[in-house]
Structure 1
Amino acid sequence: MITITFRGTGDAMGVPRVYCDCEVCGEARTGGVNRRYRSLVQLDSPDFGTMMIDCGPDWGRQMEAAGLRFVNRILITHAHFDHIGGLPEWADACRWLGVKGEAYAPAEVIAEILQRFPWLGRNMTFIPIDQPCTFGSWEVSAWKVNHGKNGYAYAFRFDQKDSGMAWAYCSDSIGLTGEQQKPLYGLDLLVLGTSFYKENFLYESRSVYDVTEALELLPVWEPKRTLFTHMSHDIDLRKSYPLPDFAEFALTGMEVSVGK
């Protein structure tokens, strides 16, 4: 079984945005329910211990909130700053503790990371995940997804062979092709990024699905449960939105379990 804990559910800028005086950002500044660090999940399993997906600039504060002093394995979806900005801090933790961290990502993502932070290899080992990897009883595969005007990202699918259960983490995507959608069919849990409830900007200028678009796709993909993450200050968690029973917004600190 995997326990998934949402340590961050925010988009690239987080909430509150430093320049913004909207009601959502104002409530977030008081420590309210809309306070959102950049998207990151913590995974815990008796099979493989603790690891995370992504390592953004809020990583240190997320570790403190989790009561963790170190994590030795992180999966990385893509090389945008909100997903890798904490890697130098993790590398410093590795250096001080004398432990080499393991960073798993597709080879092209690793190449981008090392272009930006060429010294990281001294304190962590980068492991390509272009082919499925096994962590305990889970097989983990990565596949490339459209990220709109921001290029590309990767999503991760976790399959537990003994139970037949599966879940996926797809934080940054829009306009997925039919082939890119295939790993999202029939999941026990889908974690999907949706920055706005209804985003009114030009489609070609956007990079992540909005909630209304996701709700049109869920009957096609048929996940048993969906949690929305990567939320901007457009989404106010104090409000009630017309969501089906099997879909909801992820909350900071929320824990869900998948598998046996």
Structure 2
Amino acid sequence: MDSLFFLGTGDAMGVPRVYCSCETCTEARATGENIRLRSSVLIDNGTEALVIDCGPDWRRQMEAQGIREMRRLLVTHAHFDHIGGLPEWADACRWMGFKGELYAPAEVIPIIERQYPWLSSHIQMMACDDGITLDGWQIATWKVNHGKNGYSYAYRLEKEGYTWVYCPDSISLGAEETRLMHGADLLVLGTSFYYESAELSTRSVYDMTEAAELLQMVKPHQAVYTHMSHDVDLGKSYILPENVTLARTGLRLQLGQAE
């Protein structure tokens, strides 16, 4: 059975923030429960791995898990916290003698190429708008609202009767944007704050109170919140739906029906 491994669970700035001495950042420096590298997950089938997003903490994430090789990657969107590690991955591909495979929506690829024009020498970039199959997973992608930051994409993966969705950066999703989330066995959703008081027009990611309303609508069997800022302290208790878990680096979940 495949498993899902959380390489990073932080928002765009990670935790701790250099400038901050809040309780969460202070704890992260002292004992490390709240240390959060930028959000990324790895799908492991025992022989091969497929990673989603490659932020600026990619090298540190690979070293922490003893991973020496990554051949394939899905990208949700071209913001720095999701693609900042691509030059290091490209360099690894160069030295290991293979060409990496990067899958992303068609409109995301030119943005990556403009940001890092040399990557194509070591990474092959392929559009996945029409769906792809990797390691037996049938993968669909669609655009989601990312608030003031424009747009991102979500992925729905299906294999052997099990369905899960990865959507780290979204807010205020409408009916069409949530259509492929309904009834998923697992929804991994970005929630930067427990409750964010800033005006909605200035925001870009769900908070946990809004996410609870989304879960009531799409009804996943299980949900995991990721992409969390220093507002969230894993040492505290929050009022959450019963089927929700807050992601921690190293969290591993089985992607399949229990026998």
The TM-score with structure 1 as length reference comes to: 0.97
Distance 2:13 2:86 in 1: 17
Alignment of structure 1 residues 63-142 onto 2, 5 Å = 63-142=62-141
The answer on 1:174 being equivalent to 2:171 is yes
| Aligned residue type for 1:40 | S
Q: What RMSD, in angstroms, separates the aligned Cα atoms of the two structures? A: 1.0
> Could you report, residue by residue, the CA deviation over 1:57-84 in whole angstroms, capped at 9, with x for unpaired residues?
0000000111101110010000000000
Distance 2:79 2:62 in 1: 20
2:140 partner SS: strand
The answer on 1:147 being equivalent to 2:142 is no
Matched with 2:24 is 24
Matched with 2:229 is 232
Unaligned runs of 5+ in 1: none
| Aligned residue type for 1:239 | K
Unaligned runs of 5+ in 2: none
Alignment of structure 1 residues 170-249 onto 2, 5 Å = 170-249=167-246
> Runs of 4 or more off by more than 2 Å in structure 1?
none
| Aligned residue type for 1:107 | A
Distance 2:202 2:131 in 1: 32
Distance 2:111 2:216 in 1: 35
State the Cα distance separating 1:31 from its structure 2 match: 4.1
State the Cα distance separating 1:90 from its structure 2 match: 0.2
Distance 1:56 1:136 in 2: 23
> Could you report, residue by residue, the CA deviation over 1:117-156 in whole angstroms, capped at 9, with x for unpaired residues?
0110000100110111011321001110000000000010
Matched with 2:43 is 43
Distance 2:31 2:94 in 1: 33
Distance 1:67 1:22 in 2: 31
| Aligned residue type for 1:110 | I
Distance 1:41 1:238 in 2: 22
Distance 2:213 2:173 in 1: 13
**% identity of equivalent residues:** 56
State the Cα distance separating 1:255 from its structure 2 match: 0.0
1:107 partner SS: coil
Distance 2:23 2:133 in 1: 44
Distance 1:165 1:89 in 2: 33
Number of corresponding residues: 257
State the Cα distance separating 1:2 from its structure 2 match: 2.3
| Aligned residue type for 2:20 | C
